[in-house]
A and B are shown apart, each in its own frame.
Chain A
Amino acid sequence: MALLSKVTHQYLRTKKQFPNVWCAGCGIGTIMGAIIRAIDGLKLPQDDVVMVSGIGCSSRMPVYVDFNTLHATHGRPLAFATGVKLAQPNLKVIIITGDGDALAIGGNHFIHACRRNIDLTTILINNSTYGMTGGQVAPTTPFMKIGTTAPYGNRERSFDIAKLAIAAGAPFVARGTVYHMVQLRKLVEEAIQKKGFSLVEVISHCHTLYGRLNKEGGAIEMLKWQKEHAIPISAAGKVPPEKLRGKFLTGVLWDIDFPEYCEEYDKVMAEAQGKM
């Protein structure tokens, strides 16, 4: 069978509850495909990859993939992943988290994981709402957009996830969209290879709740919205500033080098044992 899908199907737990739990047209499945293709492209053995997730629509992903998987408590996938990485530094730990999971319930864990700079790859799926619980306003819901808990419009400003992570000290920050899934695969590959905490924010869509409440159409219309509003960072300098308003940049937004925590911890151990 010379099918392309042979690439993805060997990483799936096909005997689990397929078809998957997500709504028809949900972007999380596309992101899952991009992550699987990135891992396949890097030729990482399945036993060396750990996928950790919290609670939420996006965090259902580890159920379907055949890696070492860990389904943690709400908002704490980064805390669990830090433990896994410190115990087994040779493993590649990938965290799948949603915007509510990482920024509201686990906001503290998120900024401190950025600050600590431990070698984790975080895929933060941003669909601007709490999808699993019914469309409540999340920290990423844009100003004046409607949620089930804000029927007259959300009067709070939303988080800029990339800027938050950069300010908290993350050495690698990238942003992709579901529409640009080939670029997303490359970003995930880069993030996995980066030594240190790396964050990939993926702009996704929730057409079932957010799109319906805000009259933004179905999955296809929301994917077209992503296409129209994404500007690659390489082209950002050429675009006049008034055209950048209301749009977002994609690509690798931040890439610096900083000492990684596991290596520093090894040094601490060597130093302490040497002195004793």
Chain B
Amino acid sequence: MADQTAKTQVSTKQKAEEEKVHVFEAWCKRCEICVAFCPTGALTSDKDGFPVLTYPEKCTQCGMCELRCPDFAIAVRPREKKESKKGSS
């Protein structure tokens, strides 16, 4: 279990820069709340029920999936405009 978490954190650091939305599959319980309440419909479920960013062009990085996730299992890269105004969050 601890190894799994460590692996997830390492992969997060590597993938964070290139991915808009990252899912920690070790923590995700596949409740599909993020998919159901995605305002633009950018997220879909894969065959196991894990959320996947199928339409990255639709994703506005609003962060709603991250705020709604009960398991802290999804992370959204902040918008770059906001970053330059407010500094890193």
Contacts and interface: CB of A to CB of B under 8 A. Distances in A.
Interface residues of B, number: 33
A132 interface: no
A22 B36 CA distance: 19
A220 B71 contact: no
B33 A9 contact: no
A152 to B, nearest CB: 31
Interface residues of A, number: 33
Nearest to B63: A4
Interface of B is mostly: loop
Contact of A18 (B22, B27, B88): B27
Interface in A1-52: 1-9, 12, 14-15, 18-20, 22-30, 32-34, 37
B66 A4 contact: yes
B35 to A, nearest CB: 9
A150 interface: no
B67 A3 contact: no
A24 B69 contact: no
B72 A33 contact: yes
A173 interface: no
A20 B22 contact: no
A223 interface: yes
A219 interface: yes
Interface in A122-164: none
B69 A2 contact: no
A166 interface: no
Interface of A: 1-9, 12, 14-15, 18-20, 22-30, 32-34, 37, 181-182, 219-220, 223
12 contacts: A3-B16, A4-B78, A5-B66, A5-B76, A12-B72, A15-B2, A29-B72, A30-B68, A33-B67, A33-B69, A182-B67, A219-B33
